[in-house]
Amino acid sequence: MSDDPPSSDPTPETLQKEIAKLRRRVARLETQLEDVETVRDTNLRFLDRVSGELEAEKARSRALLLNVLPETIVERLDAGEGLIADRYDDVAVVFSDFVGFTQISGRLEVGELVRSLNALFTAFDAACSDLAVEKIKTIGDAYMAAAGLPGTGSDHIAAAADLALAMRVAVREAGDPWHVRIGLHSGPVVAGVIGTSKFVYDLWGDAVNVASRLETTAPTDQIQVSETVAEALGDAFELEPRGAIELKGKGSTETFLLVGRRKD
């Protein structure tokens, strides 16, 4: 009888069984890994799509805000500033109004009226953009813009005068029944954002009031400016003295009619 211990080496059959088990386990792990990678890829594609949609929505929201507020104000709101309120010592305000608009609106077909008004305001908007003047608002058929605010160009009074001239050209090109009166004054204003649901960026102060009254008293198809503006424009523009007229709240006021830019 042999004294050697019994052999513990696995038999070929046992090895084959263990190998088969290992292969099945590896196959299961590989399948699970593929499932995880599939889920990961699906989640990444989903996150990419959601991220793209969020960026597109942010861009649309910003574009809508820029249709209502100046870009500098949008940036301040994005930065978390709650109350937007500023005081400026010298802002040039352009105020325009169409002559006889009530009668025009009663004569023209509704669609034609809106198309014509939209075309004119679109031309005004384009002139504001070209001259770096900020459109403030429209009130019915009235249009208000300002130069000298943050984000607008230098030589703000000349830019406002150029805007007024461009607006008059647009109205002349539109032809009958469209005629316009325009007022231009420069002075101190307070600016801020008001409202919550339909908020607006607006201006208040002497420059706004006087520009409005200069528009109201201007002759048809003329641009009436204050003495302050006339002096600031100097020799670069052609101006005709109109003399003193009565402005509500201001009394007798020297005014001028802006004819155009002088040719070099």
The residues annotated as belonging to the active site are 213, 248
Neighbours of 203 (CB within 10 A): 21
Amino acid identity, residue 91?
V
Q: Which residues contact 84 (CB under 8 A, 6 or more apart)?
A: 73, 76, 77, 192, 193, 201
**What are φ and ψ of residue 166, in 5° steps?**
-65, -40
In the three-class reduction of DSSP (H, G, I as helix; E, B as strand; rest coil), residue 237 is classed as strand
- Bridge-based pairing of strands 200-204 and 237-247 is unpaired
Give the chain's end-to-end CA distance (angstroms, integer).
130
DSSP H or E segment with residue 191: strand 180-194
- DSSP structural state of residue 253: E
Helix, strand, coil content of the chain in percent (nearest 5):
50, 25, 25
